[in-house]
Structure 1
Amino acid sequence: MLGIFKKGLAHPPQELNSPHPMQAAAAAATREPKFPREILEDFLATHQSGSGSSNAFSVSFEDGALLAYARPEKSYSVHQRLFCGMDDIYCIFRGSLNNLCSLIKQYGLNKGANEAMLVVEAYRTLRDRGPYPADQVLKDLDGDYSFVLYDGKARTVFAASGAEEGVRLFWGIAADGSLVISDNLEAVKGSCAKSFAPFPAGCMFHSEHGLMSFEHPRNKVKAMPRIDSEGVMCGANFKVDVQSKVHAMPRVGSEADWAVWGQNAL
């Protein structure tokens, strides 16, 4: 999976940027940040079949958002890859949920719904009705997963990575300041030079309201300086700060609810 969101559309933590871009460039002269078009071209080329046709496709939006999806090589895998688009909400999901059937009943979906469809419906429920705190909704997803979702109507990005860490996400900053999110480490590392980091497990990110832990919603997420094997300070890792508490449980749905999340986020 690949998501690219232009600067100003998504608002990732500032610490994700390499604090010393000139030093980073000198340490890796042959690897400089790429622009979104280059990143997409590399992604599509990586997923070409032996006949030269591509196993991947992309969806671009006028406001500077882009999602790219590669079809799974096998018909079934524990870490399946799924793409879904409904009512201008688009989701790329990787992994699986152990309690999918019960969640389908809970959200009133068709029995044939998959994990990506479920995430879209859960997000839409949070956005429009907000009956539960966002952290509780994600805690209810029992399984190993990660996803990237884009809401074309609200122009917002929502991403999360499950606590089990079997399906990782990585994120970074492209040459033009765009946010890049993918489950492929090399894709992000090769595109963002030193301005990249693992997306923290058990956490969720909303483009307007920041990064927070859904596993530990009462604790803030702290940026930790990261120095690579070349001795260069890179984009920070993000860890739950057990010493720092938030004042209220975040709740989403109405504009006021999203604002509460923003007060608690990084």
Structure 2
Amino acid sequence: MLGVFSSSIVSPPEELVAAGSRTPSPKIKATALVKRFLDSNQSAVSIQIGDDVQLAYTHHNQSPLQPRSFAVKDEIFCLFEGALDNLGSLKQQYGLAKSANEVVLVIEAYKALRDRAPYPPNHVVGHLEGSFAFIVYDKSTSTLFMATDQHGKVPLYWGITADGYVAFANDADLLKGACGKSLASFPQGCFYSTAVGGLRSYENPKNKITAVPATEEEIWGAKFMVEGPTVFAATKYHFLANLSSQKMDQQGHGQGQPPVTGVMGSSSQMPYGVAPYQANQMTGPAAPVSVGSIHSPAQLAQQQLAYQHIHQQQQQLLQQQLQSFWANQCQEIEQTTEFKNHSLPLARIKKIMKADEDVRMISAEAPVVFARACEMFILELTLRSWNHTEENKRRTLQKNDIAAAITRTDIFDFLVDIVPREDLKDEVLASMPRGTVPVGGPNEGLPYYYMPPQHASQAQQMWPQQPPHPYTTAQQMWPHQQQPPADS
């Protein structure tokens, strides 16, 4: 497959431009490259999209386990090569028909990212399992989105032609004759999006990708490599490594310590990492039971501080995402001039409003405001729920993630009656770290009830580090708003 894009769509990578200037080599123009591809494959198909984009593909010499496919829907063009191992579950997740294949799924995933999803674009490809490489071009927004699998099972290369076009292909020899030294292998486990401004790793999206200049003997002009893990991952690894080394030291040098005997009456006295049911597995007379090595109070404090540091980083990341989300929402509302298209059906919203017997007439703009408010509510709740999904190393948002988001956010306390209280209680306990006291702000693991304004201000003084919620900020802007008269 082949995709050629002008500099108005894709900015040529500076590293590849520098590699071509450092080592001059013969190149050809984009039109000649497409013609060469079509001439070498008699069954090839070419698609011209305006003056800036040209796509081409062929089924010749394709692997039966990694077929190539092409589809277009709603001005979204997609070239796909490979196979997804979790295609069945993804079709259920996106509500697709059983006959849908990989290329249709990728288009729907991209549409969900573009139109509805509040999460970063790396989540679109992060849940794809298998061998794949795809190129997506959205004509309506002039956006390019492409990615490869984590292990590079489907090769993909990119380079710069003589007239400055950026070309992507699965054939290195094809691009070598067209791009010269301005050629590189597309890094595995990465995606390129013009919407986010360049190349990213979808496993570590915050890590910088560095282009290392290649030697003269290599055909590549540069090699793109993802730098080391993020600070969060490094801290977590350091924390786990310390735990492992402490256990090894105690096993090797702590043989002289007498074992703890007897049955422990409370699980709260047990060290972190020891299962609370070990002490009561035996029945009958009490006998000496070894519960493993006991950490010193200093070690327990160090472990708890390390966990608290990791937890605080997770909460800071969530707050940054929420701030960015609300800033984008406010900017989008200010720039909105078209009110004909809505994400939620206005007829359904109007029907719900008319369910109240006291409502007799509804103005035309009222359902529009309700639709926008409901959309923002769904987006924020999804964002908070997805944060809980990532904390538990999962890629599918479940009901317990929504329940956890409700328990952690006091503005959602009206949903407690919707989610069963048993589930909420289980999620609060599940969200607490085993063997340690809960850490973090006041929003975690606490029962929710109505808090008068004077008590709310006292709570804000107790936790000044917690950023105010947009809803509470709006309430503080109009503290003396006149309330409607109560029904007699």
Please confirm whether the aligned pair reaches a TM-score higher than 0.5, indicating the same fold: yes
Please name the residue that 1:58 is paired with.
Answer: 46
Equivalent residue number for residue 199 of structure 1? 186
Shift of 1:19: 3.6
Aligned to 1:194, the other structure's residue is in SS state coil
8 Å CA contact 2:189–2:202 kept in 1: the answer is: yes
Query: Secondary structure of 1:127's match?
Result: helix
Of 114, 129, 151, which residue of structure 1 is paired with 2:101? 114
One-letter amino acid matched to 2:37: F
Partners of 1:202 and 1:130 lie apart in 2 by 21
Q: Give per-residue Cα distances to partners, 1:7-36, cap 9 Å, x unaligned.
A: 1211242112244537423xxxxxx11111
**Counterpart in 2 of 1:239?**
225
- Where 1:141 maps in the other structure, the secondary structure is coil
Superposed counterparts of 1:77-88, under 5 Å: 77-88=64-75
Out of 165, 168, 186, the residue aligned to residue 173 of structure 2 is 186
Q: Percent identity?
A: 37
The answer as to whether partners of 1:95 and 1:144 remain within 8 angstroms in 2 is yes
Structure number having the greater strand percentage: 1
Amino acid at match of 1:10: V
Secondary structure at the residue paired with 1:146? strand
Distance in structure 1 (CA, Å) of the matches to 2:326 and 2:173: 38
Equivalent-residue separation in structure 1 for 2:108 and 2:146 (angstroms): 14
Give structure 2 stretches of 5+ with no counterpart: 233-315, 330-488
Q: What SS does the corresponding residue of 1:150 show, helix, strand or coil? A: strand
- How many angstroms does 1:253 deviate by? 10
Paired with 1:155 and 1:91, the residues of 2 have a C-alpha distance of 13
Alignment RMSD? 2.7
Query: Which residue is 1:222 aligned to?
Result: 210
CA distance in 1, matches of 2:92, 2:4: 33
Report the TM-score, using the length of structure 2 for normalisation.
0.46
The Cα of 1:44 is off from its aligned counterpart by 0.6
Are residues 224 and 19 of structure 1, via their aligned partners in 2, closer, same or farther at CA, if it must alter by over 3 Å? same
Measured against aligned partners, the alpha-carbon deviations of 1:46-68 in whole angstroms (never above 9, x if no partner) come to 112xxxxxx11111111411110
Q: CA deviation at 1:80?
A: 0.8
**Which consecutive unaligned segments of at least 5 residues does structure 1 have?**
26-31, 49-54, 258-266
**2:470 alignment partner in structure 1:** none
Residues in 2 aligned to 1:14 and 1:158: alpha-carbon distance in whole angstroms? 19
AA of the residue aligned to 1:150: Y
What letter matches 1:210 in structure 2? G
Q: Which residue of 1 aligns with 2:153?
A: 166
Aligned to 1:5: 5
Task: Return the index of the structure with the highest Cα Rg.
Answer: 2
- CA drift at 1:158: 0.8
AA partner of residue 21 (structure 2): P
TM-fit CA distance, 1:190:
1.3
- In 2, are the aligned partners of 1:2 and 1:181 still within 8 Å (CA)? yes
Which amino acid in the other structure matches residue 154 of structure 1?
T
What displacement does 1:83 show?
A: 0.5
Number of equivalenced pairs? 242
Alignment of 1:141-156 (within 5 A): 141-156=128-143
Bigger shift: residues 200-209 or 125-134: 125-134
Matched, 1:67 2:55: yes
Alignment match, 2:15: 15
Q: Go from structure 1 to structure 2 and tell me whether the alpha carbon gap of 1:256 and 1:67 turns closer, same or farther (over 3 Å shift).
A: farther
- Cα deviations by residue, 1:55-103 (Å, 9 ceiling, x for unpaired): 11111111411110112446x7111101011110010000000000110
Counterpart of 1:52 in structure 2 is none
Answer whether contact 2:23 2:181 (CA < 8 A) is retained: no
- Secondary structure at the counterpart of residue 208 of structure 2: strand
Aligned to 1:176: 163
Q: Distance in 2 between matches of 1:180 and 1:245?
A: 34
| Distance change >3 Å, CA 108–CA 254, structure 1 → 2 | farther
Q: CA 1:161/1:245 → structure 2, altered by over 3 Å: closer, same or farther? A: farther
Once the two structures are TM-superposed, the CA of residue 255 in structure 1 deviates from its matched residue by: 10
Amino acid at match of 2:134: F
1: CA distance between counterparts of 2:76 and 2:170?
A: 20
Look up the SS of the partner of 1:17 in the other structure: helix
Which residue of 2 is the match for residue 260 of structure 1?
none
